[in-house]
């Protein structure tokens, strides 16, 4: 082992800084750090981005079309033809058997690299062009004619490198470390398990990913490493869930038919089948003395608020308090208004806590909450502030809409352990539910309550704008109301957004719809003014509401049957679907008009999907596919280690396997104290740190 490391370090292990490796000094260690590699463990997980396989070099006269081969030869001449489409860079290569043309499309950059007189090794595909053999877009290296050994260049990994540290240098530094894999990466699973799951050993996997003997072995190495990565993630989540369930206690709610009937009497309609089955799951959770940790998914308008209120009333019936939290004040007050509607003449004490509330009034309210005089408190996440103390908090409902504030959820859970119901209107694709929300139970409302009108969505091009206005005018004359949503803009452009919204408002009010009442709503308005405008719109005093995206959350105005989204190409699919959920809330048919001109293919695809698809779950899957998981979902953001090799979409099958395996393991040995699990435990602790509570029993 001593051959791998410099004298100063005694022992090669995963947490050893790379600086002590042979060939790495302080300067290179810095360069490595910029690539995210600090320790030997990081280095082993610094996987190649690409792999090159080259058979032994052959002679030019042995080349055959359609084969990938490696040749070594002298650059006789070069020629850059920039006028061609695409521009090509051409070199003639010779050896003692013949001459071969090599072509690189878009090869302008090669003008500084290749010169006549050099010897190069080139590896690439042979084709027939105008009856002559040529090699196209090969990988190549300029070599020292006397000492070169092609296989040294072309087998093995191609690492994401930097100017200061080439892929080849990285390969040289890693190679000796690979001789010590048996000690560095001990096996996780027993032989029977490896066999059952058709996995290669961990040491083989690490060896083959860096230095693959052949393509089959490379594939098997990748599979094993992906599996481990997903397995560790799922194990972390399973342990977290286990901890919530076994170390925290919550007030159990008793439940009987009488309570159920009393609660149901509050609703002027029969609950849907989906609502009922979700309530059943929630009730089952809340009867336990361990905290519920459930995610309630359902499209906008599917009836989640009603379900949440059911849970709230159950908690109240059990003499505990409920906190209902929304991301914005508008949404919080919407919740409050709809709760009020159901709770008319009820003795349940409820209050809306807004940021505007200060001084004496606020203090009095805080006292009432603390003394348990108030049963349901509705507010924004500001309810988490430390000075809000509850007498006996039994349930927390968090309406996250389309924001997934996992951190807030965890933070809350540290302080107290009430039952917890998180609601979201953005359907989370299966894959995400298993990862980001892997520690939550999931309930889904698939079908919306009856009596909701359909929404017809149309993509309107610029030259049809007047027609769209005319159409809207007819709807307004028929006493409908309309939303105009202004384009989504980044914070840098915030002032412009305000200007655009204001201008659009003026234009609509004076030029387009002078005969109607046009109102303006934007995020910078004082909260009272916003509320006033919303009230006027709800009461029908305002016909057309021009707004920035603040309406994207929680507004319920059944008479609004038209929505125009300006610059619709600038919104993501999920967001458009959210917006659209604001209409179609009454019986009447509603219309969503997407105004957009876009060159971008994905924008076009998004708009096109919107016009033909109304199913939130399907849209979420499209969204995930169009944007990729990276943008929608970063593991790190959720307190999980980043995935380096696996991908939750492409490796869905492995993910499912790993998830099952992880939960079996936690059932067997929840603290992973068995000696046969020591290796897994060590790696898990290194990856997740202390957040799993494993260290408690170390």
Point out which residues bind Mg ion (CB under 5 A). 305
Segment 160 to 199, residues that bind ligand ADP, using CB under 6 A: none
By beta-carbon proximity to ligand ADP, the closer residue of 71 and 376 is 376
Give yes or no for residue 298 binding ligand ADP (CB under 6 A). yes
Segment 554 to 593, residues that bind ligand ADP, using CB under 6 A: 556
CA distance 302 to 445: 7
CB of residue 580 vs ligand ADP: minimum separation in angstroms? 13
By beta-carbon proximity to ligand ADP, the closer residue of 306 and 596 is 306
CA distance 356 to 377: 15
CB of residue 564 vs ligand ADP: minimum separation in angstroms? 21
Closest to 376 in 3D by CA, of 306, 316, 327: 316
By beta-carbon proximity to ligand ADP, the closer residue of 536 and 556 is 556
What phi and psi, each to the nearest 5 degrees, are found at residue 139? Answer: -75, 150
By beta-carbon proximity to Mg ion, the closer residue of 156 and 298 is 298
Instruction: Name the region of 198 (left: φ>0; alpha: ψ -120 to 50; beta: rest).
Output: left
By beta-carbon proximity to ligand ADP, the closer residue of 26 and 268 is 268
Give yes or no for residue 275 binding ligand ADP (CB under 6 A). yes
- Beta-sheet pairing, 156-158 with 419-424: unpaired
Do the beta carbons of residue 505 and residue 520 sit within 8 Å?
A: yes
As to burial, measured by CB atoms within 10 angstroms (0-12 exposed, 13-18 middle, 19+ buried), residue 584 is buried
CA distance 373 to 365: 9
CA distance 585 to 580: 10
Give yes or no for residue 454 binding ligand ADP (CB under 6 A). no
Piece of the chain touching ligand ADP by CB under 6 A; list 51-59, 304-312, 316-324, 479-487: 304-312
CB of residue 587 vs ligand ADP: minimum separation in angstroms? 11
Closest to 376 in 3D by CA, of 414, 412, 332: 332
Q: Which of 300, 326, 555, 563 binds ligand ADP (CB under 6 A)?
A: 300
What phi and psi, each to the nearest 5 degrees, are found at residue 588? Answer: -70, 155
How far is CA 334 from each of CA 132, 319, 367, 453, rounded to the nearest angstrom?
A: 74, 25, 25, 21
Instruction: Name the region of 319 (left: φ>0; alpha: ψ -120 to 50; beta: rest).
Output: left
| Number of chain positions touching ligand ADP (CB under 6 A) | 16
CA distance 622 to 191: 40
CB of residue 202 vs ligand ADP: minimum separation in angstroms? 46
Do the beta carbons of residue 176 and residue 44 sit within 8 Å?
A: no
Give yes or no for residue 302 binding ligand ADP (CB under 6 A). yes
By beta-carbon proximity to Mg ion, the closer residue of 150 and 301 is 301
Coil/strand/helix, residue 124:
strand
Give yes or no for residue 328 binding ligand ADP (CB under 6 A). no
Do the beta carbons of residue 322 and residue 397 sit within 8 Å?
A: yes
Piece of the chain touching ligand ADP by CB under 6 A; list 131-139, 298-306, 400-408, 685-693: 298-306
By beta-carbon proximity to ligand ADP, the closer residue of 299 and 329 is 299
Give yes or no for residue 449 binding ligand ADP (CB under 6 A). yes
Binding mask 34-73 for ligand ADP (x = CB under 6 A): ----------------------------------------
CB of residue 478 vs ligand ADP: minimum separation in angstroms? 22
CB of residue 497 vs Mg ion: minimum separation in angstroms? 26
Give yes or no for residue 416 binding ligand ADP (CB under 6 A). no
Neighbouring C-beta atoms of residue 453, cutoff 10 Å: 15
For the four alpha carbons of 679, 681, 683 and 686, in that order, the dihedral sign comes to negative
Q: Which of 21, 211, 253, 306 binds ligand ADP (CB under 6 A)?
A: 306
CB of residue 404 vs ligand ADP: minimum separation in angstroms? 17
- Tell me the β-bridge partners of 50: 158
Give yes or no for residue 273 binding ligand ADP (CB under 6 A). no
Give the binding site for ligand ADP (CB under 6 A): 269-272, 275, 298, 300-306, 338, 449, 556
């Amino acid at each position: 082992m001593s051959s791998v490391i410099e004298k100063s370090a005694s022992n090669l292990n995963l947490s050893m800084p790379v600086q002590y490796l042979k060939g790495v000094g302080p300067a290179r260690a810095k360069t490595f750090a910029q690539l995210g590699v600090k320790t030997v463990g990081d280095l082993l997980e610094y996987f190649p981005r690409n792999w090159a396989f080259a058979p032994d070099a052959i002679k030019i006269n042995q080349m055959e079309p359609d084969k990938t081969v490696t040749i070594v030869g002298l650059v006789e001449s070069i020629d850059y033809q920039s006028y061609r489409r695409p521009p090509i860079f051409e070199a003639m290569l010779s050896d003692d058997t013949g001459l071969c043309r090599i072509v690189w499309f878009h090869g302008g950059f090669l003008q500084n690299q290749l010169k006549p007189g050099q010897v190069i090794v080139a590896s690439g595909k042979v084709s027939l062009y105008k009856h002559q053999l040529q090699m196209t877009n090969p990988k190549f290296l300029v070599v020292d004619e006397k000492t070169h050994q092609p296989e040294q260049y072309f087998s093995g990994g191609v690492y994401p490198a930097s100017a200061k540290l080439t892929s080849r240098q990285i390969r040289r530094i890693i190679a000796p470390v690979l001789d010590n894999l048996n000690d560095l990466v001990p096996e996780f699973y027993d032989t029977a398990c490896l066999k059952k799951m058709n996995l290669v050993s961990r040491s083989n996997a690490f060896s083959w990913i860096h230095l693959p003997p052949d393509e089959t072995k490379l594939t098997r190495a990748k599979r094993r490493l992906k599996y481990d990565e997903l397995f560790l993630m799922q194990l972390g989540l399973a342990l977290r869930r286990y901890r919530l369930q076994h170390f925290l206690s919550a007030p159990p709610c008793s439940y009987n038919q009488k309570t159920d009937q009393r609660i149901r009497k509050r609703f002027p309609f029969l609950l849907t089948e989906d609502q009922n089955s979700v309530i059943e799951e929630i009730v089952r959770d809340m009867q336990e003395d361990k905290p519920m940790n459930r995610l309630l998914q359902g499209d906008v308008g599917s009836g989640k608020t009603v379900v949440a209120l059911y849970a709230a009333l159950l908690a109240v019936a059990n003499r505990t308090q409920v906190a209902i939290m929304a991301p914005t004040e508008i949404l919080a007050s919407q919740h409050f208004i709809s709760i009020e509607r159901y709770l008319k003449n009820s003795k349940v004490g409820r209050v809306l806590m807004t940021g505007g509330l200060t001084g004496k009034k606020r203090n009095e309210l805080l006292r009432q909450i603390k003394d348990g005089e108030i049963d349901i408190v509705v507010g924004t996440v500001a309810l988490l502030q430390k000075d809000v103390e509850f007498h006996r908090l039994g349930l927390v409902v968090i309406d996250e809409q389309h924001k997934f504030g996992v951190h807030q959820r965890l933070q809350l859970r540290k302080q107290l352990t009430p039952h917890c119901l998180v609601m979201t209107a953005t359907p989370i694709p299966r894959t995400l539910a298993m990862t980001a929300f892997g520690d939550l139970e999931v309930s889904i409302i698939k079908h919306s309550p009856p009596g909701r009108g359909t929404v017809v969505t149309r993509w309107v091009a610029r030259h049809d704008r007047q027609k769209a206005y005319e159409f809207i005018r007819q709807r307004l004359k028929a006493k409908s109301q309309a939303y105009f949503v202004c384009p989504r803009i980044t914070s840098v452009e915030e002032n412009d957004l305000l200007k655009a919204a204001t201008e659009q408002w003026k234009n609509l009010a004076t030029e387009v719809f002078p005969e109607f009442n046009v109102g303006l709503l934007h995020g910078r308005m004082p909260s009272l003014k916003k509320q006033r405008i919303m009230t006027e719109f709800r009461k029908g005093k305002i016909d057309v509401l021009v707004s920035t995206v603040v309406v994207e959350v929680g507004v319920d105005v059944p008479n609004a049957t038209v929505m125009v989204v300006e610059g619709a190409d600038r919104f993501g699919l999920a967001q458009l679907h959210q917006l659209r959920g604001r209409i179609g809330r009454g019986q009447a048919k509603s219309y969503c008009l997407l105004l957009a001109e876009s060159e971008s293919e994905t924008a076009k695809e998004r708009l096109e999907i919107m016009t033909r698809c109304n199913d939130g779950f399907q849209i979420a899957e499209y969204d995930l596919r169009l944007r990729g998981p990276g943008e929608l979902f970063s593991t790190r953001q959720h307190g999980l280690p980043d995935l380096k090799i696996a991908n939750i979409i492409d490796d869905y099958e492995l993910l499912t396997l790993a998830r099952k395996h992880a939960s079996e393991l936690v059932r067997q040995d929840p603290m992973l104290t068995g000696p046969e699990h020591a290796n897994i435990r060590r790696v898990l602790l290194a990856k997740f740190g202390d957040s799993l509570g494993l260290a408690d029993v170390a």
